[in-house]
Structure 1
Amino acid sequence: MKNIAVLDESTIDKIAAGEVIERPSSVVKELVENAIDAGATAVTAEIKDGGISLIRITDNGEGIAKDQISTAFLRHATSKITKVEDLLSVSSLGFRGEALSSIAAVCQVEVITKTAGTLLGTRYRIEGGQEILTEEIGAPDGTTFLVNNIFYNTPARKKFLKSAMTEAGYISELMERMALSHPEIAFKFINNRQTRLHTSGNHNLKDIIYGIYGRDIAANLLPVKAEGAFGRLEGFVGKPVISRGNRNFENYFVNGRYVKSKIITKAIEDAYKTFMMQHKYPFTALHFTIPGDLLDVNVHPTKLELRFSNQEEIYQIVYDTVRQALSSRELIPDVGVEREPKKAELPKYKKPAQVPEPFQLPKAKPQSSFTAHVIRESAPSYGNLHTATSDPAVVHASKQMAVSMQNPVSTQDQTKAELPKTEKVPRPLPQMFQKQNTEPASKSVPETEKGEVSETAEKPEKPFEQEITREIQKAEQMELFDDKLLSQQNVKQHTVIGQVFDTYWIVQFQDKMYLIDQHAAHEKVLYEQTMKRLKDHTFTSQRISPPVILTLSLKEEEALKMHMDVFEKLGFEIEPFGGMEYALSAIPDNLFGITERSLFLEILDDLVDQSVRGTPQSVLEKVASMSCKAAVKGNHRMSTKEAHALIDELLTLDNPYNCPHGRPTIISMSKYELEKKFKRIV
């Protein structure tokens, strides 16, 4: 048995530092919070190489007295509290006395500080917990920390750091939240000599939101305010139209501290539940001022988590306040109606052999009458309010569809109230569900009229191609259809009997009856066609004028640069537009009924959360989700001709058995089983 021994001070310090200092952003967080506690009205954070080689934090706060500098770097040395009872009313961001000692244990640190009223400042250096230098120096009031070579003496920790750009993204996100939490302080963030953030400190939270998130977010904010025994709540929540695919835009601050709270998160999302689609999350910037005796911030060294003594009251206040803001405002989104194009601007449909239409399949068989029917009668795209049919019911339905996609806040009851009482009219499937010829498009796509369509550059990326190939080829043939329904000679021998519940189609083949879910089937067809186009590099893109301007965070910018090949293969063209803005100048030829901005941001949100480079699984899942939105829904009466075309298309797929989300598209019952049900066979 090994002997029990007390660890030496150096080892203790490095272990303790691991709880507080996880990455460069942890260093920035602790030093900026110290600056805020010191009463600074201006704070500048500068980094190089993602903060791995250099972090410089400068403030104009109170400074540190010369005789207290060395004490400040001792473990559990703090000026914020003096006894345990002070924890009940602590108002400062820091109070544990662990930050500076933890930073000094794993970094090379230099401090230049000066207090008001003194003639000279002090320069102090400490490396790995060992004091190196103390001297007087000329300096302005305030403090400057220079932190070099993080984890220089703990290589095991350093090797787990991400790339410089990723680490810079974490710091950028931190500084944005610091700026949101303290509108009264002027913050500046410099990354590799480029200013990424600069706030004025004019107490205006909306100005900061505009500077960080851009005009679209700032223009769709709702103010909230509440006050009571719990304290005070104020800030802004976003209209449902600016929802995102992750929780990165949910910001809330308690007594000036950015925190994560399951209670507050649940209250916010519950308030939005009936205003927003599933798997969408709102924008919030909420400030809570709560008495210190009603909460406990001493839960974790990072102080990101806290406990409320009145959780139920906090939940109800947040829920009621956010809900009231959403219910009392006009939330109908503005929908811009495109002007009617001149005759010279009308797009001319060329032969598919020259410019492939969206979701074309190889030319295995001649175009069916169903395809011609769809081309004649369907609208050019979901988002276009102009329809090619004169049927009033179809025109009305198309307009309803376009509006509902812009405004997800709708209920079945509202829809029923708005639709005219007409008998159900079979509508053609969306244009993307078209059989096409298989002639490969030439590499040089000829210019078309004003609405030109151009192929994206073919830049093969093996991991991306291999992932798509695996998705297409991974399904195994089931015994259900082996050498029967899927064979080339038998696929046309099935008989479509009819439709039940406006959703399921009954098909007879030999001695079996099949039930096909029209939504799952159409979804599967769209998904397989999209996957094939990705694999064959036949996605086309169309120019948009003017370009869509997007404001991206540093993390989003990094994800975009890392996965630019993915966006190019999908048909996007995006380029820097200055500062944190990017111009989206070309989009996929078929948007699945989603706006270009929403489609791009949905994919980007997934890539921001994706931790592994080179695995486009999230993109494939997003394609599956998009095909689901575009597919014909259940309780939609299709014509027999449309059903025949859909079923023919489904049964020629390599894997027709499940939709992209795993639900079955087709089930069967044999004649024998049916006769047993009726006791014809005992």
Structure 2
Amino acid sequence: MKKSVPRITLLDDDTINQIAAGEVVERPASVVKELIENSLDAGASSISIELLSDTKGITRIKIIDDGCGIPPEDVEKAFLRHATSKVRYAEDLHVVTSMGFRGEALASISAISRVLMVTRTRGADTATTMAVSGGEVTGFGEVAAPSGTSVTIEDLFYNTPARRKFLRSRQTELLQIYLAVEAEALAHPHVGFLLMHNGQERIRTQATERLIDTVGFLFGHERIPSLIGISTGSPFMRIDGYVSHPSDCRTNRADTFISINRRPVVSKTIARAIRAGYGTLVAKGSYPSVFLNLTIDTGLVDVNVHPTKREVRLSREREILEEITRAVSETLHSTDILRKRTNRTEAEIGERNLISPRVSGVREETPKSYSAGGSGVQAGGRVHLKFSTTDKQLRLTETVCLGDTPGLLPSLRVIGQVCERYILAGSVADDELFIIDQHAAHERILYDQLSAGRDGRLQRQDLLVPLVVSLRPAEHAALNDASSVLEDQGFVIEDFGGGSIAVRSVPMVLGKRLGAEIIRDIAGDLIAEKSLSSDERKEQITCMVACRGAIKAGTTMSNEQMERLLDQLSRTSEPYTCPHGRPVILSYTISQLDRLFHRS
């Protein structure tokens, strides 16, 4: 049977509006972002976000501003597609300076929800109110209200159930909103933001002329001393803001906030350029906190790349990226980056002093005996202070070591340690040299033990005094959303109120070395990789705990400790690579060494 040729038809307005809504409104956070940007374009100095939610998700979003309002005769136009006060001619698209200009936000939002707008211009006697449901006007009139605009959104995606089922958990959607509000607040410090969720304050910033104040409001004022200011420019751009001291970097990019011409953007190329400015001042896999606004000639910025304006296209991109790298590098090298970390705790300082060879009473001679039963490295019957922390770490991994698993490595004879980072070992037959990365080796051991515990055999340690960690709203939401995954990994975390959580149990392999920073790092990883599945989250957390709990590069080890580490490594599932895929052990046969020295 011959197939008929399909006819081309024009879509009806309802379908067109729902397609447009799909481009602009991906989730509740998209609604919040679009409405905040409308408020900013209206000249608001204060913006409030009120959220209501239940166990099923976010049920209501209300944005209130003190901007200029909308004249009564323009209120209905504001809900029409391609209606805008920000663009008059096609040429205007090339020099956009406002936050929004597509003219589709309200039309798109109202096409898939129930919307109530109340708006009043300054000097007007009354406010205008308009209700729209599924794109249809259901009410219009006058009410008493302060100047400015409020927009209330309810039943988001009520008429597009296929879209609604793709929403994530309530905590995940709240996390996205918190991140959107943080980004807008950092891009616009001169505007005060207030976010309430179910009647509780989650975010509050005050209008200020200083970005550093807004950073303090959002991330805690204790972060401020570790930030370094940048203020520099070139003929076509300016760079203003703050980056963190090299000693205060994180294991993820969760604290990277970049705006271009006060528009929050996501740009991997700009983030890489900033990271390149640090050069070798930070280790591979470490990322600085970044709070930067780039002011670039609008003729060089195309903001119409993405419907939600999250991405931009730059002309003269190579020059712009080079300028960013140069600015970061010159700023860091003109700063006294040797100064001590200001946020180091007294406990950390005490521990460093305790193991310092300059402290009186600590002997530097080689320990005389080693007890495999767990008593550790001893000198005169006592654990040698220089090796005590490492000894505890090895005892923990010995306690939960994988039984009688046969060793996968050949018998090795420890030769020594290089730069307190690598272990040198030789084969028993003296015909092969092995170089082992001590941190990667212990990381592999911890990873295997944590992975083996996923089926319920993971040993936990209850903390005598719970660790209370103060978190910003996005971190709090990320941890709450992953609470069941964290519990599978040995962490028992409870809400402590006031934006804090209490850690009551941790994986046994961590011992008592848990600090607030590892919890924040886990939260940051969850934020940075927010689209991961449950299994991927488990893997991510396992890798992080293994990395944080492992013996560090720069740790002095005795020969006995190195032997114990190699014995544990030999009984892992894959002793040749760490969980991240980096090599743990390299080997050179005598013939390879002979060739290197041109003896063959």
**TM-score for the superposition, normalised by structure 1:** 0.71
**One-letter code aligned to 1:324:** E
Query: Does residue 5 of the first structure (1) align with residue 9 of the second (2)?
Result: yes
Any idea what the Cα deviations from partners look like across 1:19-39, whole Å, max 9, x if unmatched? 011111111111111111111
Question: Identity over the aligned pairs, expressed in percent?
Answer: 33
Query: Does residue 507 of the first structure (1) align with residue 427 of the second (2)?
Result: yes
**One-letter code aligned to 1:388:** H
Asked whether the 8 Å contact 2:417–2:424 carries over to 1, the reply is yes
Asked whether the 8 Å contact 2:116–2:153 carries over to 1, the reply is yes
Query: Does residue 540 of the first structure (1) align with residue 540 of the second (2)?
Result: no
Unaligned stretches of 5+ residues in structure 2? 355-368, 596-600
Query: Does residue 281 of the first structure (1) align with residue 281 of the second (2)?
Result: no
Partner of 1:612: 533
Query: Does residue 42 of the first structure (1) align with residue 54 of the second (2)?
Result: no
Asked whether the 8 Å contact 1:49–1:165 carries over to 2, the reply is no
Query: Does the residue aligned with 1:110 lie in a helix, a strand or coil?
Result: strand
Query: Does residue 59 of the first structure (1) align with residue 59 of the second (2)?
Result: no
Any idea what the Cα deviations from partners look like across 1:384-418, whole Å, max 9, x if unmatched? xxx825xxxxx5xx79xx9xxxxxxxxxxxxxxxx
Any idea what the Cα deviations from partners look like across 1:273-332, whole Å, max 9, x if unmatched? 322222222111112222322222121211111122222332232222222222222333
Alignment of 1:302-317 (within 5 A): 302-317=308-323
Asked whether the 8 Å contact 2:252–2:524 carries over to 1, the reply is yes
Query: Does the residue aligned with 1:184 lie in a helix, a strand or coil?
Result: coil
Question: How far did 1:500 drift?
Answer: 9.2
Q: For residues 37 and 612 of structure 1, what CA distance do their matches in structure 2 show?
A: 37
> Cα–Cα, structure 1 residues 230 and 10, in superposed 2: closer, same or farther, change >3 Å?
same
> Cα–Cα, structure 1 residues 612 and 377, in superposed 2: closer, same or farther, change >3 Å?
farther
Partner of 2:332: 326
Query: Does residue 622 of the first structure (1) align with residue 544 of the second (2)?
Result: yes
Partner of 1:176: 182
Query: Does residue 297 of the first structure (1) align with residue 303 of the second (2)?
Result: yes
Richer in strand (by share): 2
Asked whether the 8 Å contact 2:396–2:509 carries over to 1, the reply is no
Query: Does residue 99 of the first structure (1) align with residue 101 of the second (2)?
Result: no
Asked whether the 8 Å contact 1:64–1:115 carries over to 2, the reply is yes
> Cα–Cα, structure 1 residues 192 and 303, in superposed 2: closer, same or farther, change >3 Å?
same
> Cα–Cα, structure 1 residues 19 and 570, in superposed 2: closer, same or farther, change >3 Å?
closer
**One-letter code aligned to 1:600:** I
Q: Which of 580, 599, 612 is the matching residue for 2:499?
A: 580
How much is the aligned-residue C-alpha RMSD, in angstroms? 4.1
Asked whether the 8 Å contact 1:542–1:588 carries over to 2, the reply is no
> Cα–Cα, structure 1 residues 631 and 594, in superposed 2: closer, same or farther, change >3 Å?
farther
Unaligned stretches of 5+ residues in structure 1? 342-366, 381-386, 390-394, 403-428, 441-468, 678-682
Q: Which of 17, 25, 32 is the matching residue for 2:29?
A: 25
User: Which range moved further: 177-186 or 233-242?
Assistant: 233-242
Partner of 1:551: 471
Q: For residues 317 and 658 of structure 1, what CA distance do their matches in structure 2 show?
A: 38
Question: How far did 1:46 drift?
Answer: 1.0
Question: How far did 1:145 drift?
Answer: 0.8
Query: Does the residue aligned with 1:375 lie in a helix, a strand or coil?
Result: strand
Partner of 2:230: 224
Partner of 1:259: 265
Q: Which of 14, 18, 26 is the matching residue for 2:18?
A: 14
Question: How far did 1:215 drift?
Answer: 2.8
**One-letter code aligned to 2:133:** E
Q: For residues 443 and 188 of structure 2, what CA distance do their matches in structure 1 show?
A: 48
Q: For residues 531 and 563 of structure 1, what CA distance do their matches in structure 2 show?
A: 17
Asked whether the 8 Å contact 1:24–1:171 carries over to 2, the reply is yes
**One-letter code aligned to 1:236:** Y
Partner of 1:338: 350
Asked whether the 8 Å contact 1:592–1:629 carries over to 2, the reply is no
Bigger-Rg structure (1/2): 1
Any idea what the Cα deviations from partners look like across 1:607-659, whole Å, max 9, x if unmatched? 332532365211222244346544798xx8964x5565555545555665655
Number of equivalenced pairs: 556
> Cα–Cα, structure 1 residues 594 and 117, in superposed 2: closer, same or farther, change >3 Å?
same
Q: For residues 381 and 141 of structure 2, what CA distance do their matches in structure 1 show?
A: 77
Asked whether the 8 Å contact 1:113–1:142 carries over to 2, the reply is yes
**One-letter code aligned to 1:175:** V
Query: Does residue 207 of the first structure (1) align with residue 213 of the second (2)?
Result: yes
User: Which range moved further: 38-47 or 214-223?
Assistant: 214-223
Any idea what the Cα deviations from partners look like across 1:486-522, whole Å, max 9, x if unmatched? 8xxxx9xx8656749964533358xx97765544655
Asked whether the 8 Å contact 2:471–2:520 carries over to 1, the reply is no
Q: For residues 262 and 496 of structure 1, what CA distance do their matches in structure 2 show?
A: 44
Any idea what the Cα deviations from partners look like across 1:556-601, whole Å, max 9, x if unmatched? 2123224445656767676555533446687667659977233222
Question: How far did 1:110 drift?
Answer: 1.2
Q: Which of 393, 412, 420 is the matching residue for 1:432?
A: 393
Query: Does residue 601 of the first structure (1) align with residue 526 of the second (2)?
Result: no
Asked whether the 8 Å contact 2:171–2:478 carries over to 1, the reply is no
Q: For residues 31 and 378 of structure 1, what CA distance do their matches in structure 2 show?
A: 71
Q: For residues 511 and 380 of structure 2, what CA distance do their matches in structure 1 show?
A: 14
Asked whether the 8 Å contact 2:43–2:68 carries over to 1, the reply is yes
Partner of 2:149: 143
> Cα–Cα, structure 1 residues 8 and 128, in superposed 2: closer, same or farther, change >3 Å?
same
Question: How far did 1:247 drift?
Answer: 1.7
Any idea what the Cα deviations from partners look like across 1:219-264, whole Å, max 9, x if unmatched? 3111110133113221111212332232221112112110123442
Query: Does the residue aligned with 2:543 lie in a helix, a strand or coil?
Result: helix
Partner of 1:350: none
Asked whether the 8 Å contact 1:259–1:304 carries over to 2, the reply is yes
Q: For residues 333 and 209 of structure 1, what CA distance do their matches in structure 2 show?
A: 21
> Cα–Cα, structure 1 residues 289 and 245, in superposed 2: closer, same or farther, change >3 Å?
same
**One-letter code aligned to 2:472:** L
Q: For residues 189 and 496 of structure 2, what CA distance do their matches in structure 1 show?
A: 27
> Cα–Cα, structure 1 residues 435 and 650, in superposed 2: closer, same or farther, change >3 Å?
same
